[in-house]
Structure 1
Amino acid sequence: MKPVRWGILGAAKFARQFMGPAIHAAHGAELVALATSSEEKAADFKAFCPTLKVHTDYEALLADPSIDAIYIPLPNHMHVDWTIKALEAGKHVLCEKPIALQDSDFDRLITARDASGKLAAEAFMIVHHPQWQHARELVQSGEIGALRHISGRFSFDNREDTTNIRNRPETGGGGLRDIGVYVMGSTRFVTGLEGSDVSARVRWENGVDVFADISAKFGDATYSAYVSTRMQPAQEMVFHGEKGLIRMLTPFNARVFGEAVVEFHRTGHVGGGSVHAQRFPMDDHYKSQVEAFGRTVRDGADYPCPLEFSRGTQVMMDGVFEVATDLG
């Protein structure tokens, strides 16, 4: 099997800690090159990939004929332009989320993807994790009966890190774009439905949203979720049906925040009930994402998270920004 040869556009901390090692470890993938002007950051990557080639500017990486695919972990406001540049250079592209800042950006992205004949996708890694595939099967097979309510939360506190791109409006920062994509996109993935009747309340700080409380409907089910970059770290998703309930204890940062566990609660016929907990202690959704990308590039397999799916999440996020009231 010929490996997909990868280059990383920028030496972001996330790429160094998670996606770089995942590309290096993935079956059918080879981490070949990095573009960065920082020798210190390049050394951090070479610590786990000693043969790594280093380019001192981004354009040189895109022009490198030894590279098949580009991973982009740049700040949010740079995603669209560099994804299109990489496609035009004849590379496949996996770009960190959010790949775009508004729905209309997807017109350009999809046009560039189709013109290039290459794969371009947002790095929405959770859909590659078996816990989410299990949850989707439980919901869509009717195991919990009619779905009536969905709730979610995702939070962390980075108020002290004032220079972080998530705290800067000019880099497309804010909690919704960083983690709101998870509570909304995961619900769309599990249900196969789109959010409607959206309402929201948002608290702003220095031009970025630091708390968002979202309400909506997915089909006949009600939905409530909140995200924050100013609260105690927490994450959970719950899908509550007439005959059962699914509770996901570490839905978004498996193996970092904690162990991935999907609890299936079901009431017995004569009272009482049972809880079946399925655990996923070893699965690495970053590595699985790279391997799924490779299967599509090499074999033409369907990719679980095409741009059209990511666009649907962006449409809902745009709706949240449009209708949100200010909490002050």
Structure 2
Amino acid sequence: MHSPISGLVTFHPARLAMRRLAALLLSGLLGIVGSTVLHAAPKPVGTQGHVGCVENPKRVERPEITEPGVYENYLVDSNWAGGNRVKITADNVTLRNCEIRNASGNGIGVFGKQVVIENCLIHHLLAGSFKDQKDAHGITGSWGRLVIRNCDISYVSGDCVQFDPDRKQSGTVTIEDCNLWTGPLPDSAAGFAKGERPGENAVDTKTPPDGERCKLVIRNCHLHGWNQPAAIQNAAALNLKENVDAEVIHCVASDNEIAFRVRGPGKRGGAHVNLIECAIYDSGAGIRIEDAIEHLEIRGLMMGQGVLEKVRVAGAKPAAATTNGKASLPAPPLKDLLQHGFTSESK
């Protein structure tokens, strides 16, 4: 039996050399053992129950939602057209049990506030080609009290979720119980050949350079397949950067070049990141720490099999670290964790 590991690692500005920090991380960060903190009943990681359309969906070409309300059971098959295939400009909208597919633009563009997107299947959003990939995101738009729940998003030539490409607004985005993934295409599609892997990140953050921090919560999600060969270098499940407070809880990252890429100050600010009881498997790098990140807190991180480099440090002189914990236990088998969730004991 294995149990998730608890502990605390906090990063703050200091004058430690890169090698010293890397050694400290490798010996301390990667397995801090203590009591497991669980805040809710365990459940499978990722989507649960039915995702996508239900019986007799309504076929629509390019809906624009301009009034509050609940909109459900739409099938948007775009025949490789571009633009935001579903555009939400109203506040107080729920979009439920829809499938958006086969586009060269974004699946859903969200420009209203207090929006919920749940039980949606979004896939094959492909622009350009593998050698000249263009952005086509699963869900994008403006920060603004958005919840993305129980959705499966895959095979995008941009990111499954990206906020905000225009970097004009602040707000909150919560992503929970989702599968955000890519992999070699099973068949040729648009300008991509069978076997080519589209996409950049499961989640990518872009924010205004100053002002109030955007808030991102990613909870109980499976993030996988962001690996090489890819159209970009440093493919990562999470690319957390700029002026954002990000909290990642009970997430599993597997089969990625980089699981969690956490980036410090640049011209648009640097991310503040909390990683809480997550697990990493089969990745080139577990955590890539860049540019002297000002705040990185890690509690209960588990490392499973196949992680080649648990911590990688890049960019400017990294921050100092303080650790409080003992040696780690290995993560449970990936299949068990996905099926049973983050329990205190996983068989």
Same topology, TM > 0.5: no
Q: Would you tell me which structure has more helix in proportion to its own residues?
A: 1
Which band: TM-score by shorter chain?
under 0.3
TM-score (norm 1): 0.27
Q: Which TM-score applies when normalising by structure 2?
A: 0.26
